[in-house]
Structure 1
Amino acid sequence: MVGAHARLATMNDPGPKTQQRPTGAAPTATSGDSAGLGRVARGGAVNMAGAVCGAALNVGLVVVVAHMFPQETAGVFFSATSVFLIVLAVANLGTSNGLVYFIARLRALGAGGQSLGVLRLALRPVVAVALLVGAALALLAEPLAGLLGSQDAAAYLQVLAIFLPFAVYADAALAATRGFNDMRATVVLDKVARPAAQLALLGALAVWGGAGLLTVAWVGPYLPVAILAWWWLRRVLRVAEREETAPLPVGPKVVDARTFWAFALPRSVASIAQIGIQRSGIVLVAVLQGAAEAAVFTAATRFMVVGQFATQAIQFAVQPRLAELLAIRDHKGAATLYQAGTAWLVCLTWPLYLPVIVYAPLLLHLFGADYAAGAGVLVVVSAAMLASSACGMGDLALTMAGRTGWNLFNNILALVVSVVVCVVLIPWIGAVGAALAWAAAVLVRNLLPLAQLHRSLGLQPLSRAWLVAVGACLVWFGLVPLGANAVLGAGAGSLAVAMLVGGAGYAATLWRLRSVLALEGLLHRRPTAR
């Protein structure tokens, strides 16, 4: 393991300085944009378009299930799909992060020809493991259903197990395309096509009946997405091969299986812990309070998922560029990108979470009158997400710096905190206890990276842009909704006025301060050195 980490460290060495970029390396930004903010901003805009669609589709999916099926059925379905997503994180083995990390770094170091080899050593093992884990999930479906409090969950889990290998392959293949700075595949297939197909199939079941096919409708689209992801990745590789003309380098830049898995496996366990933090609350509420309470908790946390789509949109765009900058030890550029990315996160997510806190009871009526009891959950979760966005992308920065061991420790500790607080509070205050547990875990996994990044790389998220973003959001989506709520009440008309006035003022503010927020790259394509 020590040798593997040594090989990882040598990949940070850019070698002798030269004025000519190695053939096949990733394009480097001009000196006027050393962090590549323009390129990242445009990639973030593409991802954001997909995130908006994906968020709307995912909320629509929960609304359909909550409205059209009994609360007990909805709770069992949400619990079973949460188990599937946790198992998906287990079977992924960290390959998604590993592929983005190594492909982006190899291209930055002029060794892009090794990317195909990295794909081979990653995809074959992960598909084999996914088959084994899927079989285990099918065999353990009945005991797991007993824990969830409903034997109906066994059939759900067995269906989900069949499609697990396709979901794992799709995640890995789409991550590889992002390593080549192609964001379109993830947006089109994962953010739009798959949730759209899920919503259409679930809507059809709601109209024509057939609650037993709920999981088939939800998980079935993973199969065509996996096939299309394979096809898209082949196209990306063909383009990359035409651009790669230099001979493959040898020596410290070579990525072998030991080096890859030394990076990926700790990240795999961290990802399991991370998805466990997000989904264990649903499962534990189902175990300790019943499926109906789990359905309420799931509905109340859907607005958190909307914000996570926006966060993921920025992270997917920042991830390959941050890996490139850290590969060539451009810490100044990495710091600029990290701070700009944090400001963008605040700009995108705070306008959602602030009004949600003010109008929580109203918004939960989208899922039905029985779900309004989750208002307390929604307020706690939204407040935690405000803090998370303000802290920036600590997990991502640690991972792209190769500190997967630190990332693992942070996420394991956060998961332990989440489970302990859940066990203590859920029997006492129900779903609100799960929300407080999740908030405590979020604080742990965001505050620890702040100290670790500052100490090891000198990275920290605060900047003038951060202050501007926070101030603009507090004025237009904090004070304006509070005023509208006080004057017009907590109804739909009040929310509409608050969003119209706040949105107009916010858009004008962002336009006026676009230079401070590094948003000009969205409007003007900057030349790149070649």
Structure 2
Amino acid sequence: MSLAFAENKTRGVARGGLANMVGSALAGGTGVIVTWVVARALGAEQAGAFFAATAAFVLGGGLAKLGTPTGLVYWLARLRATGREHLLGTCLRTGLVPVFVLSFVLAGALWWWAPAFDQHAAGLRMLAVFLPFQAMTDTLLTATRGYKAMRPTVALDRVVRSVLQLLCVGTAALLFTSSLPALAFAWAVPYVPVTVLAAFALRRVYRSGRPRERSSRGSERLALRRDFWRFTGPRALASVAQLALQRVDVLLVAALGGLAAAAVYAVAGRFVVLIQFANQGISQSVQPRLAEALAVGDRATASHLYQTATGWLVLVTWPINLLVILYAPVYLRIFGGHYTSGAPVVVVLACAMLVATGCGMVDMVLAMAGRTSWNLLNVLVALVVTIGLDVLLIPAYGALGAAIGLACAMVANNLLPLVQVARSARLHPFGRGTLAAGTLSIACFGVLPLAVTAIAGEGAFGLGLSTALGAIAFAAGTWLLRHRLALHAFKPRQPSRGSL
């Protein structure tokens, strides 16, 4: 691997990742505001029903996608890297058509199952109508990322959908106060225009990269379909299990602890979405480039991408996690006084997210290395852990029990693939940048706030002073460590002196 080649790959990740992270920050911020609007408009019981219904909706969409978000990126990148562009159309049809069909089947099932929610059936049925649009939006945008095109995902999903969701939910809360079906409609309807725009974006990207010569043979198409689903099949189950890992806890809290406890848990854990968006922002930019590197056996480039991206992820997310721990009661009070009981939930989940982000996008690396069956096993283990602990702990500890279950599952779901990636692909995330980012974050937003609040107290003055000093020290440290953190990749490329 030449240094210039590795830096060129890193610059591509930086450009796509930065845009995606900015869009993800917007989407995460609007998501927190939407949560606040719902919590304020509906009250604890109704809000708990809303969060449980949206969790079921997301699970249905995840099942409909059949693991294609990973399969499409993997195979589109692999076909382009190995000079088989004439099979790109076959690959797209192989991934998109089953998702389209299954999404309507599952929408019908969700509609039929909705009466199990009793008085909240109308809200769930409203969501069922939009399930195909949600599944197709994600799948179409994933396909554009297989061409290393990040702009459609950032513009359409991160910006357009999230802003429309905020505007629609805010308007519905003002006009139809305490109406769960109205808020459900407002939350889901933005998927309709975004799906249409995503289809046009994929059509444009596909046409711009379509080869002019060489048609594919029937045997090639058949082999590709077989290989596509051999790779994607385990990932289909794993993606559903992964979504269940993220959403089933809300449903279990609602069932075992009541809707009010589910609302507290959903609100307390909302910050996790910000971290997940940051992870996705970098991961989605790395994914096609990592798949290309592994497809041609370039493990040096793959290692460079993984370690550099993990350093950036830690640099962005660890300060957020540590500040969330510091400000947990203040953060929860924004949603209403009765939500402050969720402060221990925030602390437990934030600690688990420190471990998860420290491993980088290890789940994606394992999948891009072709180990989707291992990926499935890991997620199933994590799902068993969270469900088992939830059933044991929720009746006694409520939302905190669910947080402990999810935290243990997240740790297992990251440490298991970390070991597998190291053994099978000889890759790990602990480069110089990762260690520097982690040490800097802990010093500025962990150790320093503890020292300052011990002297100035834990009131508003002490918290504000510790945060200000931590931010200044973090900014200075980031500048001093900029080369170790590979932040030069974010600088625009300077034209050579001989260029015009």
Q: Residues 377-388 of structure 1: matches in 2 within 5 Å?
A: 377-388=345-356
Distance in 1, matches of 2:133 and 2:263, equals 27
Which residue in 1 is equivalent to 2:498? Answer: none
8 Å contact from structure 2 (residues 90, 221) kept in 1: no
1:283 maps onto 2:251 in alignment: yes
1:189 maps onto 2:156 in alignment: yes
- 1:164 counterpart (126, 131, 135): 131
- 2:191 counterpart (222, 243, 259): 222
For the structure 1 residues 489 and 203, does the alpha-carbon distance in structure 2 shift closer, same or farther, using more than 3 Å as the test?
farther
Which residue in 2 is equivalent to 1:16? Answer: none
Displacement of 1:336 in angstroms is 1.2
Distance in 2, matches of 1:461 and 1:185, equals 28
For the structure 1 residues 435 and 35, does the alpha-carbon distance in structure 2 shift closer, same or farther, using more than 3 Å as the test?
farther
Distance in 2, matches of 1:92 and 1:240, equals 24
Q: Deviations over 1:90-116 (max 9, x none)?
A: 111011111111111111112223212
- 1:131 counterpart (96, 101, 104): 104
1:208 maps onto 2:181 in alignment: no
- 1:338 counterpart (306, 324, 333): 306
1:120 maps onto 2:93 in alignment: yes
Displacement of 1:501 in angstroms is 2.7
Displacement of 1:252 in angstroms is 7.6
SS of residue paired to 2:334 = helix
1:469 maps onto 2:445 in alignment: no
1:514 maps onto 2:487 in alignment: no
8 Å contact from structure 1 (residues 94, 269) kept in 2: yes
- CA RMSD, aligned part only? 2.0
- 1:57 counterpart (22, 30, 37): 30
8 Å contact from structure 1 (residues 170, 226) kept in 2: yes
Distance in 1, matches of 2:224 and 2:321, equals 44
Which residue in 2 is equivalent to 1:15? Answer: none
SS of residue paired to 1:224 = helix
Which residue in 1 is equivalent to 2:386? Answer: 418
Structure 1, unpaired ranges of 5+: 1-27, 146-150
8 Å contact from structure 1 (residues 93, 265) kept in 2: yes
Paired residue type of 1:61: V
- 2:77 counterpart (104, 116, 139): 104
Which residue in 2 is equivalent to 1:66? Answer: 39
8 Å contact from structure 2 (residues 268, 345) kept in 1: yes
> Percent identical across equivalent pairs?
43
SS of residue paired to 1:438 = helix
Distance in 2, matches of 1:32 and 1:183, equals 21
8 Å contact from structure 1 (residues 71, 292) kept in 2: yes
8 Å contact from structure 1 (residues 464, 516) kept in 2: yes
Q: Deviations over 1:447-473 (max 9, x none)?
A: 111111111111111122121111110
SS of residue paired to 2:349 = helix
Displacement of 1:299 in angstroms is 0.4
TM score, norm. by length of structure 1: 0.89
1:232 maps onto 2:205 in alignment: no
Distance in 2, matches of 1:106 and 1:363, equals 47
Displacement of 1:321 in angstroms is 0.5
Q: Residues 314-353 of structure 1: matches in 2 within 5 Å?
A: 314-353=282-321
Q: Deviations over 1:358-416 (max 9, x none)?
A: 22111111111010000010000000000001112111001111110000000011001
For the structure 1 residues 518 and 355, does the alpha-carbon distance in structure 2 shift closer, same or farther, using more than 3 Å as the test?
same
Aligned length: 493
8 Å contact from structure 2 (residues 7, 489) kept in 1: no
Identify the range of structure 1 (100-109 vs 509-518) with the bigger mean alpha-carbon deviation: 509-518
Displacement of 1:32 in angstroms is 4.6
8 Å contact from structure 1 (residues 29, 35) kept in 2: no
SS of residue paired to 1:36 = helix
For the structure 1 residues 507 and 281, does the alpha-carbon distance in structure 2 shift closer, same or farther, using more than 3 Å as the test?
same
Displacement of 1:41 in angstroms is 1.1
Distance in 2, matches of 1:493 and 1:306, equals 26
SS of residue paired to 1:140 = helix
Displacement of 1:58 in angstroms is 0.4
Q: Deviations over 1:194-213 (max 9, x none)?
A: 12111111111222224131
Distance in 1, matches of 2:313 and 2:374, equals 23
Displacement of 1:511 in angstroms is 2.2
8 Å contact from structure 1 (residues 118, 255) kept in 2: no
Q: Residues 390-401 of structure 1: matches in 2 within 5 Å?
A: 390-401=358-369
8 Å contact from structure 1 (residues 106, 112) kept in 2: yes
Identify the range of structure 1 (457-466 vs 53-62) with the bigger mean alpha-carbon deviation: 457-466
Distance in 1, matches of 2:213 and 2:428, equals 37
SS of residue paired to 1:93 = coil
Distance in 1, matches of 2:33 and 2:460, equals 18
Structure 2, unpaired ranges of 5+: 496-500
For the structure 1 residues 117 and 340, does the alpha-carbon distance in structure 2 shift closer, same or farther, using more than 3 Å as the test?
same
SS of residue paired to 1:181 = coil
Q: Deviations over 1:258-291 (max 9, x none)?
A: 2111111211111111111111111100001110
Which residue in 2 is equivalent to 1:263? Answer: 231
